[in-house]
């Protein structure tokens, strides 16, 4: 008897276009068609989101507000309404649930849907994506982009391909050609530091990436090289996880004045540690990887992580590990504007990057 082949999954990635900014433009007609940023405009403010009109001037999320105003002097700033954005996100998810309950939220404005088996029993995933986009537009007055493929990696790439208001399908027969032409910067999990590393090795596209062996990629990138090897071949076995387990608990503080004195820094670390312990207790969370996040006066951000073989829950041990990380020369000598501490589970594919940073797939720390 011939063995039945596994069913090809039908995965959709929905990504709302300029979500926060679009909500503000929807609710305030006077802002429509004008460059707008969600965030604080003062000297130490940061852009949380930018409209497409603002992006044409180079304004991006996480950019210092001072720089954003230099790039676009007539930029409109509006305060963030995060609780309201959450309520809109819930309305979007209600639309998703009309088609499937296998939904993996990534953030307020994006999610994966597995529609292999779907409630309306629609055969084509692209038809489901088209209907979801239409309902979001008609019911909420917002625009979404959608990517469709047989795994999460390709669905995510497809949703970015024709933004804004995009709709792109990558069929299994098209995957090799699509990936081969993909710039290495477009691979999920490749940020600026990793892209520079790839370029130094002569790797600029998916085609060039595929030419290298698994051993070579592991040698240069650690265990995450396994993921790069698979992505270059269109392989991503990760399922859409309908119930996402909390993987980290963290807290951070941005200071009114930059810190330079080690005593002041440790005072803030003490307060962060106590806040972290309160949050750990509140969420009944256990983890054994501690990550220190530092943002300097020039907005350069560094993170360092330590993983131990037991659960971290004592303030003295967390403080001791934090002090150890702070001893690195790269983390001292510059004024500090932000400090953060996070406790997490180390993923099985955890590795150290060449610059000593902890690497977690799909987010360059």
Residue 102: CATH number of its domain? 3.30.70.270
Helix axes 19-27, 82-96, angle to 10 degrees: 100
What is the average per-residue pLDDT within 221-227?
Answer: 86
232-278 pLDDT, tens digit each:
999 998 899 886 667 788 899 888 788 888 888 888 999 999 999 98
Answer for the pair 38, 48: CB distance below 8 angstroms, yes or no. yes
pLDDT at 351 over 80: no
pLDDT at 243: 67
Lowest mean pLDDT among 4-18, 114-128, 203-217, 268-282: 4-18
pLDDT at 365 over 60: no
Q: Are residues 113 and 32 in the same domain?
A: yes
In a domain, 238, yes or no: no
Q: Print burial letters for 306-325: b (CB count within 10 Å at least 16), e (below 16).
A: bbeeeebeeeeebbebbeeb
Q: Are residues 115 and 140 in the same domain?
A: yes
Q: What is the pTM of this model?
A: 0.73
pLDDT at 361: 34
3-state secondary structure of 343: strand
Q: Are residues 192 and 153 in the same domain?
A: no
Sequence-distant (≥ 6) Cβ neighbours of residue 142 within 8 angstroms: 16, 17, 19, 22, 23, 26, 88, 92, 136
Catalytic residue, from 2, 110, 211, 268: name it.
110
What is the average per-residue pLDDT within 112-141?
Answer: 97
52-109 pLDDT, tens digit each:
999 999 999 888 899 999 999 999 999 999 999 999 999 999 999 999 999 999 889 9
Q: Are residues 163 and 25 in the same domain?
A: yes
Q: Are residues 140 and 61 in the same domain?
A: yes
In a domain, 359, yes or no: no
In a domain, 201, yes or no: yes
In a domain, 205, yes or no: yes
Total count of domains within the chain: 3
Q: Are residues 142 and 59 in the same domain?
A: yes
Q: Are residues 323 and 281 in the same domain?
A: yes
Q: Is 110 in the active site? A: yes
Residue 218: CATH number of its domain? 1.10.150.20
In a domain, 263, yes or no: yes
Range of the domain at 184: 174-231
pLDDT at 357: 34
Task: Identify the domain boundary among 125, 153, 170.
Answer: 170
Paired residues of 145 in beta bridges: 15
Q: Are residues 223 and 317 in the same domain?
A: no
In a domain, 99, yes or no: yes
What is the average per-residue pLDDT within 108-132?
Answer: 96
In a domain, 237, yes or no: no
Q: Are residues 184 and 329 in the same domain?
A: no
Residue 128, φ and ψ in degrees, nearest 5: -65, -45
Quote the distance between the C-alpha of residue 130 and its chain's center. 24
Q: Are residues 136 and 197 in the same domain?
A: no
Question: What is the pLDDT of the chain when averaged over all its residues?
Answer: 87
Q: Are residues 12 and 129 in the same domain?
A: yes
For residue 89, give Cα distances in angstroms to 82, 107, 108, 194, 217: 10, 9, 6, 32, 38
134-169 pLDDT, tens digit each:
999 999 999 999 999 999 999 999 998 888 999 999
């Amino acid at each position: 008897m011939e063995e039945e082949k596994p069913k090809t999954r039908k995965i959709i990635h929905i990504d709302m276009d300029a979500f926060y900014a679009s909500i503000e433009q929807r609710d305030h007609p006077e802002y429509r068609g004008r460059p707008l940023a969600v965030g604080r405009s003062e000297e130490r403010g940061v852009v949380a989101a930018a409209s497409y009109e603002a992006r044409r001037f180079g304004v991006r999320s996480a950019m210092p507000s001072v720089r954003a105003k230099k790039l676009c002097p007539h930029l409109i700033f509006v305060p963030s309404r995060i609780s309201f954005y959450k309520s809109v996100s819930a309305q979007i998810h209600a639309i998703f649930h009309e088609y499937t309950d296998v939904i993996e939220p990534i953030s307020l404005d994006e999610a994966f849907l597995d529609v292999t088996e779907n409630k309306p029993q629609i055969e084509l995933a692209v038809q489901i994506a088209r209907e979801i986009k239409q309902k979001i537009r008609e019911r909420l007055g917002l625009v979404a982009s959608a990517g469709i493929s047989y795994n999460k990696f390709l669905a995510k790439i497809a949703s970015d391909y024709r933004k804004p208001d995009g709709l792109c399908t990558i069929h299994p027969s098209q995957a090799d050609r699509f990936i081969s032409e993909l710039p290495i910067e477009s691979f999920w999990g490749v940020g600026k530091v990793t892209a520079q590393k790839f370029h130094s090795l002569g790797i600029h596209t998916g085609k060039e990436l595929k030419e290298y062996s698994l051993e070579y990629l592991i040698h240069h990138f650690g265990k995450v090289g396994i993921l790069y090897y698979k992505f270059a071949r269109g392989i991503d076995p990760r399922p859409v996880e309908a119930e996402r387990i909390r993987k980290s608990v963290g807290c951070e503080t941005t200071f009114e004045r930059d810190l330079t004195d080690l005593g002041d820094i440790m005072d803030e670390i003490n307060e962060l540690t106590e806040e972290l312990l309160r949050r750990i207790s509140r969420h009944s969370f256990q983890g054994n990887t501690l990550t220190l996040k530092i943002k300097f006066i020039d907005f350069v951000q560094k993170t360092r992580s330590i993983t131990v073989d037991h659960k971290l829950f004592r303030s003295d041990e967390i403080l001791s590990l934090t002090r150890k990380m702070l001893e690195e020369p790269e983390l001292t000598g510059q004024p500090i504007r932000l400090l953060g501490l996070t406790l997490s589970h180390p993923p099985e594919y955890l590795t150290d990057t060449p610059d000593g940073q902890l690497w977690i797939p799909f987010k360059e720390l």
